[in-house]
Amino acid sequence: TVVILDFGGQYNQLIARRVRECAVYCEVLPSRTPLAEVFAKNPIGIIFTGGPNSVYEEESPHIDPAVFERGVPVLGICYGIQLMAHTLGGHVTSPDSREYGKTVTYYDTSCPLFAGLPDKGVSWMSHTDYIDRLPEGFTSAAHTDCCPTAAMQNPEKKLYGLQMHPEVLHTENGVAMLRNFLYRVCGAKGDWTMGDYARSTVASLREKIGDGKVLLGLSGGVDSSVAAALLSRAVGGQLTCIFVDHGLMRKNEGDEVEEAFRGHDLNFVRVDARDRFLDKLAGVTDPERKRKIIGEEFIRVFEAEAKKLGRVDYLAQGTIYPDVIESGAGDAATIKSHHNVGGLPDYVDFKEIIEPLRLLFKDETRALGRELGLPGYLVDRQPFPGPGLAVRIVGEITREKVAVLQDADWIFREEIARAGLEKEVHQYFAVLTDMRSVGVMGDGRTYDYTVALRGVTTTDFMTADWARIPYEVLDLVSRRIVNEVRGINRIVYDITSKPPATIEWL
Ligand code: XMP
């Protein structure tokens, strides 16, 4: 185990994620955790994260100096290096100039952290304070133009510090520096795998849940599917998954979800609520009204189904780490009322929420899903909004329009797959606009709907660029949709980025 002591920085889970990337098991603990508890885990190394404070202030989090006396390697990052310096008798000061962002850094490659790496590179800095006097026994191992100690070392005591953030990809070779710490200094073997993660999570879920009953809202998206597979492995038939089919899924999707879970040990309840949703949506054109109706209706259907189960002990959710960050975002303006299947704690009688994926990033969640034997089409699925095709039909939603859009979208997806672009284009789908225009097919005039194709590339879905899908692929999709889907006579491709547009049209 590597223990990561959390001093409140923005990138702390990212450090954990990088350590896992180096195939080393780690746990993040609050910085106040008593040392006895930390050492009870038999750590092969300890990492101090960054944090927003200044070490010389009274109320800033501190650390018991005994942590440095056990012979266990310690790496301090950002606030962590300053805390190490301060605690061991060095001096930290607040200079006139701050360092933020990409900074050219010079490394001493005889330091194990930088062994085998270039002696110069860009690193990501985010600090106001810096170390102006090293503690006894330490030497500086890197510097920048304004910071004399961008890294420090005391190899004898296996104590190291980095002022930059190695966990952020802007730091060139940052992950290699962490790997050097883990492998060269801590002696980690790097043999931890997602299989180990699955096994230990299953064991701790079993212990926690005992013979309790668990309820999970399954949307068919990656996160809830992986949560379902994990819980199923842990507690089998004590798990009930409710899958509300609102009739606004993509073509065949409801059946695919059911199919994927057929072999698993769990109670799978598929609620056919298609009519209910479409009746409620009849005549509604306002995007936010659509979202609200679906969100509310979803809760009602879920609640009615959950009541049939009586009291459950745990409500499980497929919350992953980026959701945890995003929901803390606070005062941002409501652009869209996002609806996430699973966020229903007020409506079901249960005693506790469990979120077994809470610390995983998206790609780790996918890897775990693969490990648990979920099919590729579920695990590698692109994001799909909770309100489904309702936010891809401009204007009134009817059964016919849903069917038309499902067919057009299916063709688009099929051709993207055929062109091998599934990984490159991060989200792609068809939108049924409310616009009709004149066309000519055969010898006749048509007056039909326009389908817009949307494809974006993005890393976080907060910003996105429109995807440069090859013309040949767009051409094929256009011709196929017009030929194969009745009621469509015109195809356009959306070439706006986010911002100013959003990814979905509604
Ligand atoms: P926008 O359209 O806001 O979408 O640029 C950003 C990402 O979020 C997805 N999306 C949703 N996901 N519930 C969800 O779980 C929703 O209500 C919802 N609305 C949009 C969208 O598909 C894109 O990936």
- Residue 478 counted as an annotated binding residue: no
CA 273 – ligand 1 centroid, Å: 22
pLDDT of residue 445 exceeding 90 = yes
Q: In sequence order, which residues have a C-beta less than 8 Å from that of residue 59 and are 6 or more positions away?
A: 53
Q: Among the listed ranges 59-63, 206-210, 318-322, 427-431, which one has the minimum average pLDDT value?
A: 318-322
Which of the four pLDDT bands, split at 50, 70 and 90, describes residue 12?
Answer: confident
Return phi, psi of residue 162, to 5°: -125, 130
pLDDT-derived band at 169 (thresholds 50, 70, 90) equals confident
In the predicted model, what is the mean pLDDT of residues 431-438?
Answer: 98
Ligand 1 center to 499 CA (angstroms): 14
Q: Same topology for domains 2-185 and 194-379, yes or no? A: yes
223 assigned binding-site residue: yes
pLDDT at 338: 61
Inter-axis angle of helices 362-371 and 194-209, nearest 10: 80
pLDDT given at position 123: 95
Residue 91 annotated as catalytic: no
Q: Which two tokens stand for residue 384?
A: 């799909």
Q: Whose CA is closest to atom 12 on ligand 1? A: 385
Q: Is the pLDDT of residue 344 over 70?
A: no
Ligand 1 centroid to Cα of residue 270, in Å, is: 23
Pocket of ligand 1 (CB under 6 A): 336, 338-340, 383, 385-387, 427, 461, 498, 502-504
Phi, then psi, of 14 in degrees rounded to 5:
-65, -35
Name the residue of 336, 344, 454 whose CB sits within 8 Å of the most ligand 1 atoms, as the mutation to test its pocket: 336
What average pLDDT does the segment 432-447 reach? 95
Active site residue 165: yes
Mean pLDDT of the chain: 92
More confident call, 374 vs 345: 374
> Is 94 annotated as contributing to ligand binding?
no
Query: How far, in Å, is the centroid of ligand 1 from the Cα of 384?
Result: 7
Q: Beta strand pairing status for 130-133 and 91-93?
A: antiparallel
CA of 430 to the centre of ligand 1 (A): 14
CATH number, domain 194-379: 3.40.50.620
From 393, 503, 506, the mutation candidate for ligand 1 (largest count of ligand atoms within 8 A of CB) is: 503
| Element counts in the chain: helices (H) and strands (E) | 14, 20
d(CA 44, CA 65): 18
User: Ligand 1 centre and the CA of 427: distance in Å?
Assistant: 10
Ligand 1: atom nearest CA of 504 is 2
**What interhelical angle do 362-371 and 222-235 show, nearest 10?**
40
Q: Does residue 219 have a known ligand-binding role?
A: yes
pLDDT for the residue 334: 60
How confident is residue 327, by pLDDT bands cut at 50, 70 and 90?
Answer: low
| Domain 393-493: CATH architecture, name and number where available | 2-Layer Sandwich (3.30)
Ligand 1: nearest atom to the Cα of 387: 17
- My answer on whether omega of the bond before 500 falls inside 30° of 0, hence cis, is yes
Percentage of the residues of the chain whose pLDDT score is greater than 70: 95
Is 426 tagged catalytic? Answer: no
Higher pLDDT, 142 or 169: 142
Buried b (16+ CB within 10 A) or exposed e, 120-134: ebbbbbbbebbbeeb
Domain limits of the chain?
A: 2-185, 194-379, 393-493
Q: Is the pLDDT of residue 305 over 70?
A: yes
Q: What is the mean pLDDT of residues 273-281?
A: 97
Query: Residue type at 291?
Result: R
What's the pLDDT score for residue 345? 47
Confidence of residue 329 (pLDDT cuts 50, 70, 90): very low
> Could you tell me the distance, in angstroms and rounded to a whole number, from the CA of residue 306 to the centre of ligand 1?
26
What's the rounded mean pLDDT across residues 463-472? Answer: 96
- Please identify which of the residues 22, 86, 99, 165 carries the catalytic annotation: 165
Given 78, 147, 186, 241, the catalytic residue? 78
**What's the fold here for domain 2-185?**
Rossmann fold (3.40.50)
pLDDT class for 1, splitting at 50, 70, 90?
Answer: very high
Q: Which residue is closest in CA terms to ligand 1's atom 11? A: 385
pLDDT of residue 332: 46
Q: What is the pLDDT of residue 335?
A: 64
Q: What is the pTM of this model?
A: 0.82
Q: Is the pLDDT of residue 341 over 70?
A: no
- Work out which ligand 1 atom sits closest to the CA atom of 382: 24
225 labeled binding residue: yes
**123 annotated as belonging to a binding site for a ligand:** no
Looking at residue 326, what is its pLDDT? 61
CA of 278 to the centre of ligand 1 (A): 20
Query: Which atom, in ligand 1's list, is nearest to the CA of 295?
Result: 17
pLDDT at 282: 97
User: Which residues make Cβ contacts (< 8 Å) with residue 476, sequence separation at least 6?
Assistant: 415
Q: What Å distances lie between residue 385 and 19, 104, 220, CA to CA?
A: 31, 41, 11
60 labelled binding-site residue? no
Nearest CA, atom 7, ligand 1:
461
Residue nearest to atom 18 of ligand 1 (CA): 385
Atom of ligand 1 nearest to the CA of 386: 13
Which of 17-26, 342-351, 393-402, 490-499 shows the lowest per-residue confidence on average (mean pLDDT)?
342-351
pLDDT for residue 241 is more than 90: yes
| Residue 209 structure tokens | 């849940």
Q: Which of 26, 86, 167, 172 is catalytic?
A: 167
Q: What is the pLDDT of residue 202?
A: 97
Q: Report which ligand 1 atom has the smallest distance to the Cα of 338.
A: 17
- Give the 3-state DSSP-derived string for 212-260, with helices as H, strands as E and coil as C: CCEEEECCCCHHHHHHHHHHHHHHHHHEEEEEEECCCCCCCHHHHHHHH
Pairing of strands 444-457, 465-466: antiparallel
